[in-house]
Amino acid sequence: MNSVLLATAARLFKPLLLLVSVFVLLRGHDEPGGGFVGGLLGASAYALDAVTRNTGSARRKLPLAPHVLLGAGLLMAAASGLPALLQGEPFLTAQRYEAALPFALQITLSTVLLFDAGVYVVVMGAALLIMFTLGEEQI
């Protein structure tokens, strides 16, 4: 699509969409949101690029190939079940870790977040893989 308006808007929207997608992922920890929605939002950032220019340009800007994203996300999700084993608890039992940050800030990290981040990456990889493949289909 050759539209100056869309191209300009896309340039502004892309970082915004990526930022919002991460926000939605983290928000999903306790409130509506999560990896699935976040992943779709993240994929839409690159989809916008593919629509305004072409899929090749979107592919180049993606730091990892969609297949690798799929694999990495699955790896994160599956690996999030393993720390429980070190505690002698059943596979996938949630683990929490308190971490102290500078300026007396406290943050709680959990394996659930790693699982959800894995979902984020899988959804993003799968959505982009489907879209790129369809976009490059020779008719």
Which residues are at the interface with other proteins (CB under 8 A)?
Answer: 65, 67-68, 70-72, 74-75, 78, 81, 84-86, 88-94
Of 51 and 123, the one with the shorter C-beta distance to other proteins is 123
- CB 116 → other proteins: shortest distance, Å? 14
Q: How far apart are CA 39 and CA 91, in angstroms?
A: 25
Name the DSSP class of 64: S
Least gap, CB of 35 to other proteins (angstroms): 17
Nearer to other proteins, 22 or 84 (CB): 84
3-state secondary structure of 23: helix
CB of 103 to other proteins, least distance (A): 34
Which H or E run includes 69?
A: helix 66-79
**Rounded distance, CA 14 to CA 132, Å?**
17
Comparing CB distances to other proteins, the nearer of 40 and 84 is 84
Q: For other proteins, give the closer residue by CB, 83 or 135.
A: 83
CB of 102 to other proteins, least distance (A): 33
Kindly report each contact of residues 103-110 with a partner whose C-beta sits within 8 Å and lies 24 or more positions away, as own/partner: 110/29
- Asked whether the beta carbons of 138 and 43 are under 8 A apart, the reply is no
